[in-house]
Structure 1
Amino acid sequence: MTKKKIRVFINGFGRIGRAVARIMLEDECCELVGINDICSYEQMAYLLKYDSVYGTLPYVVNVEDDILFIGTQKVQLFSEADPSNMDLRVMEIDVVLQCSGMFLTTASNLPLIRNGAKKVIVSAPSSDDMPTYIYGVNHKKYRDEPVISNSSCSANAIVPIFQIVDTYFGIESAMMSMYHSYTVYQNLLDSKHYSDDIRRTRSATQNIIPLMSSAAEATETFFPHLKGKMYAKSIRVPVPSTTLYELHIQIGKKTGVQEVNQVLREEIGGTYSDILDVTELPGSSLEYIQSPYSAVLNLSLTAVVEEDLLRISAWQDNEYGYAKRVVDMAKYIAQY
């Protein structure tokens, strides 16, 4: 008997939405049945087919009226600024992936539920008390809520690492530096910008730009005892993909590099094998483009100072790795 595929709808077809679509095309458990974005249908098709980071999609992609054809697959297209205008009932949607970067509250996503979707996953931290789950960390605590947050790409990388360190060594405080690829919200050339941070006016392709990050707040959600004891900075660098995390962690017991790496190897080889990986190779950012992991820890860069100040370094494709976790979460909650 053929297992029924999970029927997925993507609202917002930007970098994360398109990465999710590419991943689902290779996943026999999922069927992409609809996409909504305010750009033209021709641009949706073109940007899915051709990607400057991930390459050309190996399918014939074209649009006829409001149908996107990806090989033999048909996907219904919408262009609604207000998703509440879409009637999704006839499409039998199991999960809507809210990848627009907007609609960050439970209330703003409930119209999708009222219009026929069974569940909604927001691919960003929420701005209210929306339940937040990270696959591989707390997803098994999911309690059939209709709207949930998948947190941020950074939290998906950091939280499982912190979970290991806190369990074995006890975290007392932490500072996180993220050497992060530039994003579409930055300028290609110096120009005006809507942000309150004037540094966003500068060219992302020519500058290293330090920006404030919400990663500390997103991580605190999972470690209440560390509230106010963490700080994060996103340092945007002139590369189009991947992030290097430098995590400086004050721990509560004495240890050394060998013990830390042994713990990381054992935990990541077991409990966290689906979402984390380790390496000791001298790789750089290009090697981690399209990595399916939430983070790949580079154990050769682990350091310990004064036996209780720990540095852990990890790589992440902050688009593709995060999109993989969004798809994992969709497959998990669709069972309920």
Structure 2
Amino acid sequence: MSNADTLRQLHQEHLSNYNNQEQQAIELMGLLNKLYNEQDVQVTLFGETLGTTSVGQILALHQKVALRDHGAKSIDIADTLAMVKVIAESKDIQAARIDVGQLIANDTDVQAALKSVNNAGAVNGATDVVLYGFGRIGRILTRLLLSQASSAKGLQLKAIVVRPAAAGDLAKRISLLERDSIHGRFLGGISIDDDNNGMVINGRFVQVIYAKDPSEIDYNAYGIDNALVIDNTGIWKDEAGLGKHLQSTGVKKVLLTAPAGGDIKNVVYGVNNNTIGDDTIVSAASCTTNAITPTLNVLNDEYGIENGHVETIHSFTNDQNLVDNYHKADRRGRSAVMNMVITSTGAAKAVGKALPELSGKLTGNAIRVPTPNVSLAILNLNLKTAPKSADALNEFLRKMANSSTWQSQIAYTDSTEAVSTDFVGTTHVGIIDAQATILTDNHAIVYIWYDNEVGYSTQVLRLATQMAGISYTQIPA
């Protein structure tokens, strides 16, 4: 057989194999949709949601997510399909989040795992959600909420509140949601409903409400009640200001997407979300606090942290100027797209609110740089117990990233080619860059990438889910 014939045969084998995988992905999508709609069961692969809208995305995720404790072997979609078929046959499982990646990696008997769960009849209700503000975070939250398969349960986006504006505002808002310079086009259908002043996004109507002040809105008039308001304007950060939302008719709780002051709890999901209780106003802290606190948590638990410094190399934000102009804050009046700008950050101090044992032990600063998204946090730490080596420290962090406990908050890369744009759109809160880890005796320097828009927004929605009283059985626990 000639070399050309061999290559043609190889090409045909690869194509045939991929076509077979495509058919399996199509079958898998049908099962995933059915599980989500009928039983409120969502299937993940090492913490990443298996999408139900794209064959290519499902196959790419299987190639991307390796059985990390088993070399570079990727999970075969056939194994995932076989496991999801077993899950779909179990009609008693309701309101669950099942990670097939962890089940496969640990050779778990899925039938035994499902039988051990007693949640027959478990049902989550629907909670009305209002987004107050429609900037970067507001639009990312909208994308995340409405990219999922439609369901009558869980978080239901019912309205978006913005300031009164001139004619044509609604069309502008829709265009900004549909087209994004960083995250690309929205993969779904969006249309305008002029008659009812709203948007129809993937078949779901979302009311647009114009208001100057939260307390003046009667949400009941729009068919909204007991709502969770997610305030992403950053205008109000204390109880007096955020309490205006609770004066509105139809609002039950408020979640702020920024650090809060006073007695309002600053919560990092996965770290101190068990402290919420019956609080009606909660802060989701900042993107940087969410990115670094999980890693600081596991490092403190394993080695102990004496003290340290956090430096964030942060993408510029909308409050900076494109060109030099007046700004009330120091240095931020200088052009964001031409300068690195040293500024303050409250992230290090805020860590102490989520992890009281680190209160007062960390200092912090930030450098705003001319990139529009994805930031980098550098943890400069003095540890109580010195790891044996940088490799040992990285191995510990890799295991934490692969654990079912931390896989949604912590990710890990050892690529020698990773750069910031590689992490645009990642739903993990912080990605440890193993190649950059430095260890000298008990002095460790750890680098953490984070998409300061999408990664943070996934944490906000996890917190919103808890505040809404929505809970899921986790398999494996």
Q: TM-score range by the shorter chain?
A: over 0.9
Where does residue 209 of structure 2 map in the other structure? 78
Q: CA deviation at 1:27?
A: 3.1
Q: CA deviation at 1:209?
A: 1.0
Where does residue 152 of structure 1 map in the other structure? 286
Normalization by structure 1: what TM-score? 0.94
Distance 1:63 1:232, change over 3 A: farther
Where does residue 215 of structure 1 map in the other structure? 347
Aligned match for 2:244, one of 100, 105, 111: 111
Distance 1:34 1:217, change over 3 A: same
Q: CA deviation at 1:78?
A: 1.2
Where does residue 33 of structure 1 map in the other structure? 158
Where does residue 310 of structure 1 map in the other structure? 444
- Report if the CA contact (8 A) 1:41-1:63 is conserved: no
Where does residue 462 of structure 2 map in the other structure? 328
Q: Which has the higher helix share?
A: 2
Normalization by structure 2: what TM-score? 0.67
Aligned match for 1:273, one of 391, 402, 407: 407
Q: Any unmatched runs of 5+ in structure 1?
A: none
Report sequence identity in percent.
29
Report SS of the residue matched to 1:260: helix
- Report if the CA contact (8 A) 1:246-1:314 is conserved: yes
- Report if the CA contact (8 A) 1:49-1:61 is conserved: no
Select between 219-228 and 122-131 the one with higher mean Cα deviation. Answer: 219-228
Return the letter of the residue paired with 2:144: I
Q: Which has the higher contact order (CA 8 A, sep 6+)?
A: 1
Report SS of the residue matched to 1:23: helix
- Report if the CA contact (8 A) 2:190-2:199 is conserved: no
Structure 1 or 2, whichever has the larger Rg, is 2
- Report if the CA contact (8 A) 2:229-2:254 is conserved: yes
Q: Which has the higher strand share?
A: 1
Select between 90-99 and 169-178 the one with higher mean Cα deviation. Answer: 90-99
Residues 6-36 of structure 1, C-alpha deviation per residue, up to 9 Å, x if partnerless?
Answer: 3211001111111111000123443210001
Select between 286-295 and 64-73 the one with higher mean Cα deviation. Answer: 64-73
Report SS of the residue matched to 1:321: helix
Distance 1:8 1:187, change over 3 A: same
Return the letter of the residue paired with 1:134: V
CA distance in 1: counterparts of 2:303 and 2:252, whole angstroms: 41
Where does residue 62 of structure 1 map in the other structure? 192
Aligned match for 2:386, one of 254, 267, 273: 254
Where does residue 44 of structure 1 map in the other structure? 173
Where does residue 99 of structure 2 map in the other structure? none
Aligned match for 1:9, one of 114, 130, 133: 130
CA distance in 2: counterparts of 1:228 and 1:329, whole angstroms: 26
Report SS of the residue matched to 1:8: strand
Select between 168-177 and 226-235 the one with higher mean Cα deviation. Answer: 226-235
CA distance in 2: counterparts of 1:26 and 1:4, whole angstroms: 19
Where does residue 143 of structure 2 map in the other structure? 22
Residues 29-53 of structure 1, C-alpha deviation per residue, up to 9 Å, x if partnerless?
Answer: 4321000111532332221111111
Q: CA deviation at 1:225?
A: 4.2
CA distance in 1: counterparts of 2:358 and 2:461, whole angstroms: 29
Q: CA deviation at 1:117?
A: 1.5
Matched, 1:230 2:365: no
Return the letter of the residue paired with 2:429: S
Residues 268-311 of structure 1, C-alpha deviation per residue, up to 9 Å, x if partnerless?
Answer: 21121122111101210110001101101111211101x11101
Return the letter of the residue paired with 1:293: H
